[in-house]
Amino acid sequence: MIQELIHKLAQSHSLSLEEYERLITERDEESARLLKRLAVQERVRIYGHDVYVRGLIEISNICKNDCYYCGIRCSNTNCERYRLTPEQIISCADEGYDLGFRTFVLQGGEDSYFTDEILGRIIREIKQNHSDCAITLSLGERTRESYAYLREAGADRYLLRHETADKTHYSQLHPSSMSFENRMKCLQILRELGYQVGAGFMVGSPFQTSKTLAEDLKFIETFKPEMCGIGPFIPHKDTPFRDCGSGTLELTCYLLSVIRLIYPPVLLPATTALGTIHPTGRELGILSGANVVMPNLSPVNVRKKYELYDNKICTGEESAQCRGCLERRMNSIGYKIVTSRGDIIK
Ligand code: 5AD
Ligand code: FES
């Protein structure tokens, strides 16, 4: 019985691979309701009805990689490239601080312009201006030396989705120049260096199966990332996966609940991608056990260019509007955005 599996997960925070697979294949409306209820119970026990916010600054859409799913892949010649200057990045953070953000996420493609030295300067300056803030980096794979340098400069957290915990699946989503082993190695190094680490994956990515998803869940169970970013895959018109279908709201919300029960303290965002496939996707994500949202702080004139997938939301709004919009959305479901760094409560 799947109900028994759900109770077992809620109690022991662990299932076998086969059981995780059954949790996915045998789900129905009734079991999803039970799962959601238990996940929200854990979420409220640890975080109450607080929602943490992260100010997302998309620093560059220039990328040396060619991931098959991603709109800013290097072989997409239709993508208009941009890169923010250090001054622009710092002023986005200043604006964000005044709007109540205490975490800034610097996200971008793997752009060689952003050397350790340049990033170090940016990190140190933001930290100097706002000593009560956390800095999160989301800049892909770098060397151990680089991660160590950036940590030393003041970076607190690093987001690097593992994308899939199945090696064969990994090779179906990425060209052979990228390796599953290096991805996992990077996550390990980040952990060793004392970062709070974010892993994660897309829901409904091409070639994903209940078996690869079970492997993702087992990986989350064993690695216990402080953060876990999951959102639906959404096709981008200029990628090899243009004709593939999107991931669903239903399965994404179901997996948000599962992950909350696997590792109750995890910081779990209701992602922009979830808000893109459904008008109230982020609200439904929070109501499934998520506890983080990430409004956009990038300058409005570059937002449309940071298009990882088609029809991305929040690309026309000013930072203050985006923040206000999410505040209202969270209030409408009985949750509230809080002004704090929003560290994990272990
Ligand atoms: N649909 C949904 N998510 C995507 N990402 C990249 N491309 C897409 C897409 N087409 C996700 C990846 C990456 C994160 C920054 O965005 O998981 O790690
Ligand atoms: Fe960005 Fe609504 S959250 S505009």
Per-domain boundaries in the chain? 2-338
Burial 69-87 (b: 16+ CB within 10 A, else e): bbbbbbebeebeebbbeee
- pLDDT bracket for residue 159 (50, 70, 90): very high
Q: What separation in Å is there between the alpha carbon of 159 and the centre of ligand 2?
A: 21
- Ligand 1 atom 16: the closest Cα is on which residue? 308
Mutate to test the pocket of ligand 1, among 57, 70, 187, 255 (most ligand atoms within 8 A of CB): 70
CB-based burial of residue 95 (10 Å sphere; 0-12 exposed, 13-18 middle, 19+ buried)? middle
Order of strands across the sheet with 196-203? Answer: 55-60, 103-108, 134-138, 157-159, 196-203, 227-232
Measured distance between the N- and C-terminal CA atoms of the chain, rounded to whole angstroms: 31
CA of 308 to the centre of ligand 1 (A): 6
- In 251-265, which positions are buried (b, 16+ CB within 10 angstroms) versus exposed (e)? bbbbbbbbbbbbbbb
Percent with pLDDT over 90 in the chain: 100
Residue 231 Cβ contacting ligand 1 at under 6 Å: yes
| 46 token code pair | 């640890």
Please report the pLDDT score of residue 171 as a whole number: 98
pLDDT digits (tens, 9 = 90+) for 165-185: 999 999 999 999 999 999 999
Q: pTM of the entire structure?
A: 0.98
Pocket test for ligand 2, best of 325, 328, 333, 337 (most atoms within 8 A of CB): 325
- How many A from CA of 322 to the centre of ligand 2? 4
Domain 2-338 has CATH 1.20.120.530: no
How do residues 203-235 score in pLDDT, each as one tens digit? 999 999 999 999 999 999 999 999 999 999 999
Å from CA of 112 to ligand 1 middle: 20
Q: Is the CB of 236 under 6 A from ligand 1?
A: yes
Tens-place pLDDT, residues 305-319? 999 999 999 999 999
**336: β partners:** 50
Q: Identify which ligand lies nearest to the alpha carbon of 71.
A: 1
Rounded distance from Cα 165 to ligand 1 centre (Å) = 15
* Distance from C-alpha of 35 to C-alpha of 46, rounded to nearest angstrom: 17
Of 215, 279, 210, which is closest to residue 251 (Cα–Cα)?
A: 210
- Mean pLDDT of all residues in 188-192: 99
Q: What is the pLDDT of residues 75-128, one digit of tens each?
A: 999 999 999 999 999 999 999 999 999 999 999 999 999 999 999 999 999 999
Average pLDDT over the chain reads 98
Q: What is the pLDDT of residues 283-292, one digit of tens each?
A: 999 999 999 9
Could you tell which of 233, 241, 274, 313 is best to mutate to test the pocket of ligand 1, judged by most ligand atoms within 8 Å of the CB? Answer: 233
